[in-house]
Chains A and B, each alone.
Chain A
Amino acid sequence: MKAIIAATLLGVIMMFTGLFVKDKRQVVMIATIAFLALLGITIWEVQDASSAAPAMLFNNMLRIDSYALWFNMMMAGCTFLYVLLMGKDIMRVGNHVAEYFTLILFILCGIFLLTGYNNLLMLFIGIEIMSIPQYILAGADRRNLKSNEASLKYFLMGAFTTGLLLMGITLLYGATGSFYITDFTFLRTDALNPMALAGIMFILISFAFKVSAVPMHMWTPDVYDGSPTAFTAFMSTIVKAGAFVGFLRLFHIAFGSLSEHWMLIVALITAATLLVGNITAVFQQSVKRMLAYSSIAQAGFMLFAIASVNASAWQGMIIYGVAYSVATIGLFSVLIKMKDYTYDGFNGLAKKQPVVAFFTTIFLLSLAGIPLTGGFMAKYFVLNAAVQQGGLLWLVIFALLMAAISVYYYFRVIIAMYFKQGEAEMAVEINGGDRILLGITCALVILLGVAPHLFLGSI
């Protein structure tokens, strides 16, 4: 609750900062403080929630439980890290620096609603608050045609699936007479209403779009590739994790008892997402585009949490969201400083920047899911949930084979950095502060890999 209000207020404050503070560096400084304050408030909220009972707010429209608070804190933490790592890069995107941070704060507000909604209307509002700023951010580089294309494409497709979401909500309302996800007593009975099932399918499709699951993934490569890299890093990580939690809440809390009707579909979507994401990523020549496909592949793993209706899946979602976000943001913050975004652009980085190359290697190992890194634990948790669920062992083995394929494209970067000769030209020099921040990010990745329970709190 406090976090939602704080995110909104800080957003408004940021917006006005743009009017009065003209020096971009100062804006970044103020934004950093704002995100730190937001992180502080989420931590305070976690500490403050002494009772286990969830807080019901706004006529039960929001139901903020300890999971939501914890997840909010993790996301605020990841965003703070993102602003620290990429603040200067956001500054270089365009002239409206304060607005960019404002939009990011609004997106966080949307995510906070998605972690705590109890009512389908709140879900809708959360999704919209999260999405609309992204359409703007995607097109922030106004003079770049690809950025414009990304924005328009994202907006049109997003608007279309928002329509599907609304349609689904309407059908569910028609079937149950309620918007409250904990109130769908009708859905818990054996009698099945085709209207409700159709509604669930519509909602499933629109969520599949938001988390870029196959076959609703077509927008992802173009949007992620076309958007300014600084915002791709945010959209493909934290926003995706936020959308996933919204997905998870609805399908486990409201539709959990109907899982036999949608589980197979989700499992097939998962398999398709893993297949398409990994296979297509193999053929990319640009690291940025590879990361776009890799984000589809990683979404495939996160879908395991949706397909497994149990407590481990909820734990897995946190670990996966954080591990994937931290490693990807780290990777993007190195990528954005390169002159050439192709694999060849990384040739010889290890000779030129040994420390940065080492950190990049750790991020890549984490994304590939090598033990001792967060990525391994993340995959472990979600696959563990799927094995517990039973009946999904085929999917688990398939996912592991796909993880082996992912090694190919992640290691291509490592091969370029360490084993190939080249200049690895930087567009922006990496200074000591960047190295320290990358080192902290890298330490977080390792910490996630050896002590994941620290990131689960009491969940």
Chain B
Amino acid sequence: MILTLLILIPLVAGIAAMAMKGAAKGISLLSSVAVTVTSLLVFTSINSFGPNGFVEWSMPWIPSLGSNISLMGDSMALVLCLLTGIVMTIVVITNWNKDVERPGSFYGLMLLAQAGITGVFLASDALLFYFFWELALIPVYFLSSIWGGEKRIAVTFKFFVYTFVGSLMLLAALIYLSLQNPGGNSFALENIIRAGASLPADQQQWMFWLIFIAFAIKMPIFPLHTWQPDAYEQSPTPVTIILSALMVKMGIYGVVRWLLPVVPDAVAFWSDTVITLSVIGIVYASLLAIVQTDLKRLVAYSSIAHMGLMSAAAFANTDVAMHGLVIQMFNHGINIAGMWVIVSMIEQRWGTRDMRQLGGMANTAPLMTIALVVIALANIALPLTNGFIGEFMLFNGLFASASQYHVTFMVVAGLGIILGAVYTLNMVQRTAYGEAVAMKAGGDITMNEYIGLAIIIGLIIFLGVYPKPLLDLTAGIMMP
């Protein structure tokens, strides 16, 4: 029952925010904090049921289709719900001083998107999963198209069509799988898994590609990533944070929950191909990130590189990779949110995101520079930051993979770390040091930004130095 709260709180708050424009910010903050606290409570409590503890809740929905409203929260789902709560809190806090046009609709839609994303993480019924998958997309479409940058309409539409095509592929596969259940239509996760595993190899391959493309577009995996830099660049920063910190996680999460266990034979057959695409994506995106001059595009490409490593690890088929994946999903969400917050602060103060027109931030805004450096170091996974522990486990898991090419994968993916250091430190150098450029407006960090960044940096350092609590809470995670 408590799981429904995680979805209902943002849903109700979203509708309330739309109705009460003046209080929209306050409502969003309350709702985000409530979600964070609730998911933290559930997350810590399921551990008392043992390492694989979970809570579930179910009620009938459409009996003739064999679909129920069933939610299931295990440690992987709940760590992502927790991330959703924290990221939303950070978004609201850091935007507290900014005036958006029509705040009621803006925050309302943000909260609706949050409800959809949380639903995706918790649904254990395929049709319900699909519903939430789309519910998360529609508000984001409106958010980016109304409040985005100059080219927003075309770019957001491209993003929408990409993901929608993917979703429809997913839908075809889910319908097919739901019909394979011996006792009549069923969308329950365990029945989908049973149905998929019982399919002959050639049908599994069909199902694999239909499902995989949907998730690959969302993650995004090279070469289906072309919507992503544009969409990140053109969306307003709060939406970019939702997209990059939370929505791409839906893709990875989908792979782990709805692809790997469902068509095991096809996954074993195609995992080398997928890992190859992923590591190509790491290097390709990193190289592109190096030549970017726009901060938002740079962070966008860096995000593709990070997601590439995660998707490679998801297909590595080892327990440690899976455990690392969950840790890294959480940490990447925090770090990338931090990156965007800093980028948006820079844009607000200097009126540009072009690194060629920036410099000397260390003199003009020392506190911001400290935050930028810490977050940048976490982004390149320096030890003692949270990024390190996750990436270390991912590489460890990738190396332990049974694939005959595991060393090659490892080496090429390792290049990504070096290239990551190149573009990230280059960015720090070009913005923070060199000749100082005068600010157009505002000063160093304001109070609300201070709080938001303190949460991010606190988590980066705490989980970097002492990751044990998070590792313990997710200890039960292994290959599906």
Contact = CB atoms under 8 A, between A and B. Distances in A.
Interface of A: 315, 365, 370-372, 380, 383-384, 387-388, 393, 396-397, 400-401, 403-404, 407-408, 411, 415, 418-419, 451-453, 456
> What 8 pairs between A and B have smallest CB-CB spacing?
A400-B168, A371-B134, A404-B165, A371-B131, A419-B145, A419-B153, A387-B175, A453-B64
Contact of A415 (B145, B165, B171): B145
B172 interface: yes
B146 interface: yes
B160 A387 contact: no
Nearest to B148: A419
Nearest to A383: B175
Contacts of B96: none
Contacts of A407: 160-161, 164
Contacts of B287: none
B146 A418 contact: yes
Contact of A401 (B64, B153, B165): B165
A448 to B, nearest CB: 11
A403 B168 CA distance: 8
Interface of B: 62-65, 130-131, 133-135, 138, 142, 145-146, 152-153, 157, 160-161, 164-165, 168-169, 171-172, 175-176, 179, 185, 206, 210
20 contacts: A365-B138, A371-B130, A371-B131, A372-B131, A372-B134, A372-B135, A380-B65, A383-B172, A384-B175, A387-B172, A387-B176, A388-B179, A393-B172, A400-B169, A401-B165, A401-B168, A404-B164, A411-B160, A418-B145, A418-B146
Nearest to B105: A354
Main SS at interface, chain B: helix
Given A371-B130, A371-B131, A393 B146 contact: no
B206 to A, nearest CB: 8
B179 A387 contact: yes
A294 B142 CA distance: 23
B134 A408 contact: no
A380 B65 CA distance: 10
Nearest to B206: A393
Contacts of B146: 418-419
Contacts of B134: 370-372
B171 A384 contact: no
Contacts of A387: 172, 175-176, 179
Nearest to A411: B157
A415 B176 contact: no
Contacts of A451: 62
A404 B169 CA distance: 10
B159 to A, nearest CB: 12
A404 B152 CA distance: 20
Contacts of B157: 411, 415
Main SS at interface, chain A: helix
Nearest to A381: B65
Nearest to A386: B175
B161 A404 contact: yes
A370 B132 CA distance: 11
Contacts of A396: 172, 175
A365 B152 CA distance: 20
Given A404-B161, A408-B161, A415-B157, A453 B176 contact: no
Given A401-B168, A407-B160, A415-B145, A380 B175 contact: yes
Nearest to A397: B172
B172 A400 contact: yes
Given A370-B138, A384-B65, A384-B185, 19 more contacts: A371-B130, A371-B131, A380-B175, A383-B172, A384-B179, A388-B179, A396-B175, A397-B210, A400-B168, A401-B168, A404-B161, A407-B161, A411-B157, A415-B145, A415-B157, A418-B142, A419-B145, A419-B146, A453-B64
A419 B149 CA distance: 12
A400 B164 CA distance: 10
A401 B160 CA distance: 14
Given A404-B164, A411-B160, A453 B172 contact: no
A408 B65 CA distance: 29
Contacts of B145: 415, 418-419
Contacts of B64: 315, 453, 456
Nearest to B178: A384
Contacts of A404: 161, 164-165, 168
B169 A371 contact: no
Contacts of A315: 64
B135 A453 contact: no
A132 to B, nearest CB: 38
A384 B62 CA distance: 14
A403 B167 CA distance: 11
Nearest to B162: A404
Of A400, A403, A456, most B-chain CB atoms within 10 Å: A400
Nearest to A368: B164
A453 B164 contact: no
B160 A393 contact: no
B38 to A, nearest CB: 24
Contacts of A408: 161
Contacts of B133: 371
Contacts of B168: 400-401, 403-404
Given A403-B168, A418-B145, A418-B146, A371 B135 contact: yes
A370 B172 CA distance: 14
Contacts of A372: 131, 134-135
Contacts of A380: 65, 171, 175
A370 B130 CA distance: 10
A397 B65 CA distance: 20
B105 to A, nearest CB: 9
B63 A415 contact: no
B148 to A, nearest CB: 9
A364 to B, nearest CB: 11
A418 B142 CA distance: 9
A418 B161 CA distance: 18
Contacts of A411: 157, 160
A10 B130 CA distance: 46
Contacts of B176: 387, 393
Nearest to B133: A371
Contacts of B135: 371-372
B147 to A, nearest CB: 10
Contacts of A401: 165, 168
A361 B475 CA distance: 45
Nearest to B130: A371
A401 B213 CA distance: 13
B241 to A, nearest CB: 22
Contacts of A384: 65, 175, 179, 185
Contacts of B169: 397, 400
A21 B358 CA distance: 78
A397 B206 CA distance: 11
A419 B64 CA distance: 40
Nearest to A404: B165
Contacts of B165: 401, 404
Given A407-B160, A418-B146, A456-B64, A400 B171 contact: yes
B224 to A, nearest CB: 14
Contacts of B62: 451-453
B359 to A, nearest CB: 36
Nearest to A452: B62
B63 A453 contact: yes
Contacts of A371: 130-131, 133-135
Contacts of A415: 145, 153, 157
